[in-house]
Amino acid sequence: MTKESDQFLHPRSRYYGDFTPENLAFNANLQEFAQKITYICSLETGGKISSEKAYKEIKALWKQLKSSKKNLGISEKPPESDEGKSTTE
């Protein structure tokens, strides 16, 4: 597969969030998750796979994404910033 066709079939968006290697890796995993979900939904909509199979595959992908988040140490809550804080505190 050529680079151009790979980019067309599997587009990646730039990451504009808070840069850490972990956040960047998770973003790549999240984009891959979204792409696979799109394929599964298309297969199910087109009658190529059953709703049950689509559900099971999506559930497995979700577990992988959750595991990725945990293994990368991505926190549940973003760190607090100085923005939005009152100056009287």
Its pTM stands at: 0.71
Place of tokens 């990368």: 72
Q: Among 16-25, 43-52, 56-65, which stretch is predicted with the lowest mean pLDDT?
A: 16-25
What is the average pLDDT across 28-39?
A: 96
What is the average pLDDT across 45-61?
A: 98
Give 24's DSSP letter. Answer: H
pLDDT grade for 89, boundaries at 50, 70 and 90: very low
Q: What is the mean pLDDT of the chain?
A: 85
Sign of CA dihedral 52, 54, 60, 66: negative
Angle at CA 71, nearest 5°, toward 52 and 8?
Answer: 60
- Dist CA 57 CA 50 (whole Å): 11
Nearest residue to 61 (alpha-carbon basis) of 41, 32, 26, 88 = 32
